[in-house]
Structure 1
Amino acid sequence: MKMIKIALSALLLIATTSCQPETKNTNTTQVVTQEAVKEVIADPVDLQNYETAYFASGCFWCVEAIFESVKGVAEVYSGYSGGPEKNPTYEQVAYGRTRHAEAVEVYYDPEVISFTQLVQVFFGSHDPTSLNRQGPDRGAQYRSIAFYKNEEEKKIITDYIELLESKEVYGRPIVTQVKEFETFYKAEPYHQDYEKRNPNNSYIRNVSIPRLNRFKENFKSYLKEEAH
């Protein structure tokens, strides 16, 4: 009986710590959470003055929070990229009905943080040896992808992968896709700044915040003052 209780508790934890929708009908959740979006202040800066970078490394709630803590980053949006389908929805992507991955769009100041450093943040904040999985989230929609917009960015990514593997940093082969960037579809409004606005969500408490804290511990020199 004790073993059964332990097993049920483990299953409950997994069920409540998933980035996927709890039900196939997310309309109720969307209506409720979109009300909170009204409290989010509009972009305080002109983002046209910043460079952009794109990454996918698991649930975009986690990834967005990590990059937003990095100095030189002005804004980060959660969204979908890496697949051919146009205008995908969260439900479609989260249930693996597209070839997109949950991704982020990072607006950054290259005079403060370089693309090379953002690549270091990317590889240092997730497990790039885990195929189609990050933490409790499984499926190709959670795969690791480093997108590049030109040959220079591609070389930075591939050179860094070679460096990590030559030093056997992870002890296993890196399975991150190095993929040319095509299109980024911004996720629904209620996903933006999700961690900040939903601190009591079980997934945020058990998965996202611990992941963010591990990153902060290892990349202290990369953090904004308010992120320390």
Structure 2
Amino acid sequence: MMKRALKYLAGLLFLYSCAYSQSDYDESFAHLPAPRKGEQVATFAGGCFWSMAEGMLELKGVHKVVSGYSGGTTKRPTYEEVGSGSTGHAESVQVYYDPAVIDYATLAEAFFYAHDPTTLNRQGPDIGTDYRSVAFYRTPEEQKILTQVIAKVNASHHYHNPVVTEVVPFKVFYPAENYHQGYYRQHPESPYIQSVSMPKVRKLEKAMGDKIKPAFQVKG
């Protein structure tokens, strides 16, 4: 993730990343839980999964978010393999939510606010196909909702350019290494979290208003 970001921000920011001193982190793969009774699952990719996971977790009705990889061909890829661009995966999040509290359309709307869906294969300093914007649908109804939300976002002119997000059928999601799970909250002192991830999360909080859990709602 940050190997490319460091080149982009060289001389401006001194950024530590998940690539920094990785021997100190738990590189075993996280557990992928099965949905609980009444839960549904949604999968999105929108740049670095550190901020996307935090943003989606702050939504009312979201119980758990797992960071991982989707959209590629290699089975059980590692972070390094995904970052090389050779596996076809994008950094993704799997969202476990209660449809009685938050529906898929609201999740999709939050997704489009949680990153910039108009930049192809790039999110800010993070460049490559592994940072591309993808919405994975599981049913024809989800596909229809995504199409409608994209049309709504484009019509709103919230972004200067049109949405380039891929809308593709879900196939498989592989959980990322344990050190990526909850990284945003575990490393608030990280310059990358403060300068890149945090503004994205704050943007989502402001955009989604009362859809955000009370503890994270923007005051004033």
The interval holding the TM-score normalised by the smaller chain is 0.7 to 0.9
Displacement, 1:164? Answer: 2.2
**Equivalence for 2:51:** 62
**Which of 159, 166, 175 does residue 170 from structure 1 map onto?**
159
Matches of 2:76 and 2:141 in 1, distance apart? 29
How far apart, in 2, do the equivalents of 1:179 and 1:128 lie? 15
Residue identity opposite 1:33 in structure 2: Y
Q: Verify: 1:75 aligned to 2:64, yes or no.
A: yes
Residue 8 of structure 2 contacts residue 125 of structure 2 at CA under 8 Å; is this kept in 1?
no
Query: In the alignment, residue 48 of structure 1 is paired with which amino acid?
Result: R
Partner of 1:180: 169
**Other-structure match for 1:217:** 206
Matched, 1:11 2:10: yes
Which residue identity is paired with 2:36?
Q
Alignment of structure 1 residues 1-228 onto 2, 5 Å: 10-13=9-12, 16=15, 21-22=19-20, 28-29=21-22, 31-34=23-26, 47-49=35-37, 50-228=39-217
Larger Rg: 1
Letter in 2 for 1:145: V
- Cα offset, 1:168, TM superposition: 3.2
Deviation at 1:12, TM superposition (A): 3.5
1:61-99 Cα distance to aligned partner (Å, 9 max, x none)? 010000011110000000000011111100111222210
Which residue of 1 is the match for residue 3 of structure 2? none
Local SS of the residue matching 1:106: strand
Q: How many residues align?
A: 208
RMSD of aligned residue pairs (Cα, Å): 2.5
Counterpart of 2:84, as a letter, is Y
In 2, Cα distance between the equivalents of 1:171 and 1:207?
A: 20
What is the distance in 2 between the residues matched to 1:48 and 1:210?
32
**1:9, distance to aligned residue in structure 2 (A):** 11
Query: Taking structure 1 as reference, are residues 168 and 101 closer, same or farther at Cα in structure 2, changes over 3 Å only?
Result: same
Unaligned regions of 5+ residues in structure 1, if any? 1-7, 23-27
1:10-37 alpha-carbon deviations (Å, 9 max, x no partner): 51446627x6725xxxxx52x42339x9
Q: Give the C-alpha shift of residue 205 in structure 1.
A: 1.4
Residues 164 and 213 (structure 1 numbering): CA distance in 2 closer, same or farther, change over 3 Å?
closer
* TM-score using structure 2 length: 0.86
SS of match in other structure, 1:220? helix
Secondary structure of the 2:44 match is: strand
User: Does the 8 Å CA contact 1:21/1:94 hold for their aligned counterparts?
Assistant: no
The TM-score with structure 1 as length reference comes to: 0.83
Considering fraction of residues, name the structure with more helix.
Answer: 1
Contact 2:113 2:203 in 1 (8 A): no
Sequence identity, in percent? 41
Q: CA deviation at 1:132?
A: 0.4
